[in-house]
Amino acid sequence: MIELVVRDRCTGCGRCVRVCPTNVFDFVDGRPVIARQDDCQTCFMCELYCPVDALYVAPNAERPTPVDEQTIVASGLLGEYRRNSGWDEWRDIPNLFWRQGEIFARARSRAPGPSAQDTASKLSSTEAVEIAEWPPRS
């Protein structure tokens, strides 16, 4: 369950607010505030998306866990879930798989390619018949 937003670390980017599936945070004075802690489903999305490790999500999903900010900061637990999950492992290496939507959108925006007739005219007569008769007769 979300337990802590470390204000000294928080940059106010709002990523945690946007990714939270249960709307746990409110954005007050340019910073996220835990407003509905009981709604937290302990999915760790906010902690994963926080670029400065300003959030602490305790593993107990059933009830709040009292925490001391200084103790949590000193313990190195901030950002631990993100580090252990490998979330940033490939940050500097382009991963086209995750950009497929962008690639498909660019492809759709381009002029259409050659028509089927243009392609068929370049094929041998045997290849053209095979294509025209697809699926093959049994």
* 66-86 pLDDT per residue, tens: 999 999 999 999 988 888 887
Single-letter residue type at 21: P
The residues with which 34 forms a beta bridge, in sequence order, are 25
Model confidence over 104-115: pLDDT tens digits? 677 677 655 555
Rounded distance between C-alpha atoms, residue 34 and residue 45, angstroms: 14
Q: Where in the sequence is the domain holding 129, given as residue range(s)?
A: 1-138
- Which CATH number goes with the domain that contains 81? 3.30.70.20
Rounded distance between C-alpha atoms, residue 68 and residue 77, angstroms: 12
- Per the structure, the count of domains in the chain is 1
Span 4-33, average pLDDT: 94
Which residue has better confidence, 111 or 64? 64
pTM: 0.63
